[in-house]
Chain A
Amino acid sequence: MIAYTEKIREIAKKLLEAGTVEVFVGYKKGSVPMMNEPVLIRDPAHVDTLHWDSNCGLNLCNYLTRRSEKIGILATGCNSRNMVTHVVENQIKREQLYIVGIPCTGMIDHRAVKRKVGPKEILDFTEKDGSFTVRGRDFEETFKKTDYLQTNCAVCRHRNPVEYDELVADPVEEQEGIDPYKDVKKIETLSPEGKEGFFERLISRCIRCYSCRNACPLCYCPTCFVDESKPQWVGKSNDATDTMTFHFLRAYHCAGRCTDCGACERVCPVGISMRQFTKKLNKDAEELFSWEAGLTLDQRPPMDVYRPDDYNDFVK
């Protein structure tokens, strides 16, 4: 995917010069290995700042909310689905966007790589044709990218953008025969006490920094329920019940809207797999409503429509 960089710069330059867009949202290379920084470009002379590699695992859709300009923006499969969701939920107008689609082969799980190299510090990262190399003071190791994909990317079924104005390259092959819900099915077999214990352990390290919420493009409410004071829905200390309330409610607010982009897990400073919450809801949406979020501009998500002819009895 590293080869996309030149093409992205070329497209951004063209769009900014022609005035097709006023700003372009992409990534620049980070100051720390395996981290890239979202960037907003206004001047076509600055497009060389743009960078792309397999460490662009945030969700750029997050940067569209409440903007009024005409925006050029990069979108992988999941990011494009969030843009669709944003349009459907009236957070941005489709005609405001020029979506530059990225056929994506997945992002690297930087935590898994760090776990593999142990306590040694990674000082440099390079990527080439499906493999990547990390270097430190006295080591150099090369890995196959497919062995170190983010867990959401490993089970991704929509690598190609679903909505775009232009693609940076030919579509990539979609992953077939994947069961994205293996882990959820395992949790479903647990007893109620087993589930409670599982989720308590899952979030035991949470420090309530809200990076998961803030990295999520679905969380655009002007005031989040955790910040309400009249009434105060949830306590602000690190009390386990309050922390659990935050995670449960956040997940429920994402029901039928989550694209499993993995940004929440990527940004968590203490490494919580909070996708275990949202994935169960994605599975339910798929099983109960044949719904995957953000695949089409023509349909509203199942949780915000009511149809008298709904085939499910329980809503009647």
Chain B
Amino acid sequence: MTDKIFAKEAWIEALKGLTKDYEVFVPAGDGDFHTFKPLENGTKPDFGYQNTRLSPKSLVYPQSERMFDYSLDENDPDAHILNEASRDYAPRAIVGIRPCDAHAFQIVKLNFDTPEYRDPFWVKRFESSTLVGLGCHEPCATCFCTAMGGGPFDEKGLDVLLYDMGDAYLARSVTEKGQAFLDKTQGGEKADEKSLKRAGELAAGAAEALPDPVPVDPIKRKTINELFDAPFWEDVAFPCLNCGTCTFLCPTCWCFDIQDEVQGNQGGRIRNWDSCMFPIFTLHGSGHNPRDQKFQRVRQRFMHKLKYYVDKYGDGFQCSGCGRCVQFCPVNIDIREVLQLMGN
């Protein structure tokens, strides 16, 4: 594996050169916040950003995704047959993704890519994506990646990790996929020992201000019923509006709803992000709703992330500590506080 160092201007130029090999996505300003946008003419990458408002999960798992097309025209020989909607799985590079969001893809992978079930849409799109991470020198006060088993320079889930060295980026290749990306990247020089040492120091410094890892054991030891019946859920849920902000901004929320939409005699089967905060999420055809009340829905979200997932997969929490829900919950429900309540 070769680690390379690029002057910042040369890096942007090198990315432009990569657009023949990849569809390159970069963080760019979009009004008051940042989103990942294709590096096409006019998109100005901004690697000085904190994080995107919406997580980059949509690049692999779009909010609305047409899965199948069908015809209701009886004269059509394919009438009533579901045909996979055409889609593009050309290689993509998501450049500047934060380590928490790359970690989140690993969490989501446990759901979409299992020995029993492989979600073809998610898996193909994920496998054709190269994740080029950007380490966080100045994590936000709402960040808690370290508590969730990650870190501001954690390589987990990344193919390449970038260190901001001031006037240059040091690019460490983490996987074969990442090495292939760097091999195609024009310019740059082989990183020397001194730069690598400096990069290591930067990484160590950034993690200092962040919280300690939260052990899963205290929550694991408690029974599901003990936590399910805990007295604090009504209080935690009181301010909740049951909106979809937390789940839609979250890089690890994976739930979806499938809908058929027909126009004339042409139809499509579409899957849309869904949210356990919405009452309709669990509404049965009979009219019964097992999570009819707000506190039940709020409890579900936290129990799923911090207990059911922990017990089922044995791989930490279903949270990468990106802090989006903490920052943008309109009523300031703070998952870090709920984590404490559940663990104590």
Contact = CB atoms under 8 A, between A and B. Distances in A.
Interface of A: 30-32, 35-40, 58, 62-63, 111, 114-115, 119, 121, 123, 137, 205, 207-211, 213-215, 227, 229, 235-239, 266-271
23 contacts: A31-B326, A32-B141, A32-B334, A36-B332, A37-B332, A111-B32, A114-B32, A119-B50, A121-B140, A121-B141, A137-B138, A205-B31, A208-B244, A211-B243, A213-B243, A236-B257, A237-B64, A237-B259, A238-B272, A267-B241, A269-B248, A271-B32, A271-B33
Nearest to B336: A31
B54 A207 contact: yes
Given A121-B141, A207-B248, A215 B261 contact: no
B80 to A, nearest CB: 21
A266 B142 contact: no
Most B Cβ at <10 Å: residue of A58, A210, A235, A239: A210
Q: Is the interface of A mostly helix, strand, loop or mixed?
A: loop
B185 interface: no
A270 B53 contact: yes
B328 interface: yes
B contacts with A: majority SS: loop
B241 A214 contact: yes
Contacts, number: 108
Task: Please classify how large the interface on chain B is, using the bins under 10, 10 to 19, 20 to 34, 35 or more.
Answer: 35 or more
A207 B275 CA distance: 12
Interface of B: 30-33, 48-50, 53-54, 63-64, 138, 140-142, 235, 238-239, 241-245, 248-249, 257, 259, 261, 270, 272, 275, 278-280, 326-328, 330-334, 336-337
A123 B30 CA distance: 23
Contact of B244 (A123, A211, A237): A211
Contacts of B30: 205
Nearest to A270: B53
Contact of B278 (A32, A227, A235, A239): A227
A115 B32 contact: yes
Which of A119, A211, A268 has the most CB atoms of chain B within a 10 A radius of its CB?
A211
B245 A271 contact: no
Contacts of A30: 332
Given A38-B331, A210-B244, A211-B244, A32 B142 contact: yes
